[in-house]
Amino acid sequence: MEFGLRVPSFPVDGSRGSKFIRQIMSFIGELEASFDSAWISDHLVPWATFQDKRTDTLECFTTICYLSGIFTTMDFGSIVLCNSYRNPALLAKMGATLQTLTGGRFILGLGAGWKRDEYEAYGYPFPSPAVRIGQLEEGVQIIRRMWTEDGVTFKGRYFRVEGAYCNPKPRPPPPMMIGGGGERLTLRVVARHADWWNLPNVSLQTYKRKLSVLREHCAQQRRDFGAIRKTLASMVAIARTESQARRIASESPFVERGREGDYFIGSPGQVRERLNAFVDAGVDYFILRFLDFPSPNGAKLFAEEVIPDLR
């Protein structure tokens, strides 16, 4: 059982520039010894609807490179990189370089992309979901081959590489985590290609249904369902009492009203009980955003009173 720490890529309290960076550095610094990894989302502008698009937003890969050089006991992952924003051959080179420099502490999370306004603002075409998922599948194949082969040639519908080399090879290749829950297309790509699978902010019932669909796709692809690591990304509001935790959640702009049951909100015992239900379903890696950021208090309480029992 492992636990990852979501690191915000944009502030929620109006901070800017160096103040926001100090918040991040302090937050990770106080929690580095308690969590296995830190994770950054890939957005070019804030994704939450409440945010002004002028809000400072850190680019994912640059941020991972910087932080992984400072906090050297943690793994670092992307949750998840948008396949559309970086040519997959170049991303393979970037990932291989980072894996080499960090001594094997990079996890490549990759997804098909979804934020239309972001695509349009930065000049990327925004094709249909089917096309974006097809592009994701080709991208994953190119990255995997470039991490393990020399002189890679790939001629797909969306991407082409000709005799491409990617050296030094990453040793070992970073785990490839594919994010998403589309039952017809995305989970089929997961079944074919993913080392890890991630789904964010869902109820236990929904997670179990997606697992069942993934199992079916694995059977069709003759892939060992157990070989895919199951992860969950979610949000946590934790405090000594349930009422205190619910107050934290009510003040968070990330909590969608009416969906509180999809998150982990409550006392340590209540949060532990809900997490255990996901463990029983098959999850063995949680990637968690603590809603009282920039305070480390919630994450500290979680580390002290929840993690030891689940370990």
Smallest CA-to-CA distance from 110 within 145, 146, 86, 74 is with: 86
For residue 156, the model assigns a pLDDT of 98
For residue 46, the model assigns a pLDDT of 86
For residue 47, the model assigns a pLDDT of 75
CA distance 138 to 141: 5
For residue 169, the model assigns a pLDDT of 98
If you search the block for the tokens 């603002």, which residue do you land on? Answer: 121
CA distance 102 to 64: 11
Blockwise average pLDDT, block size 10, the chain, 311 residues = 96 92 98 98 81 88 98 98 98 98 98 95 97 98 98 98 98 97 98 98 97 98 98 98 97 87 96 98 98 97 97 87
Residue ranges covered by each domain of the chain: 2-310
Q: Are 91 and 145 in contact (CB under 8 A)?
A: no
For residue 51, the model assigns a pLDDT of 65
CA within 13 Å, CB half, 281: 23
Both tokens assigned to 36: 């296995």
For residue 256, the model assigns a pLDDT of 83
Say which DSSP state 157 is in: S
Smallest CA-to-CA distance from 42 within 122, 103, 97, 98 is with: 122
Taking residue 196's Cβ as centre, other Cβ atoms within 10 Å add up to 19
Where does 2-310 sit in CATH, by number? 3.20.20.30
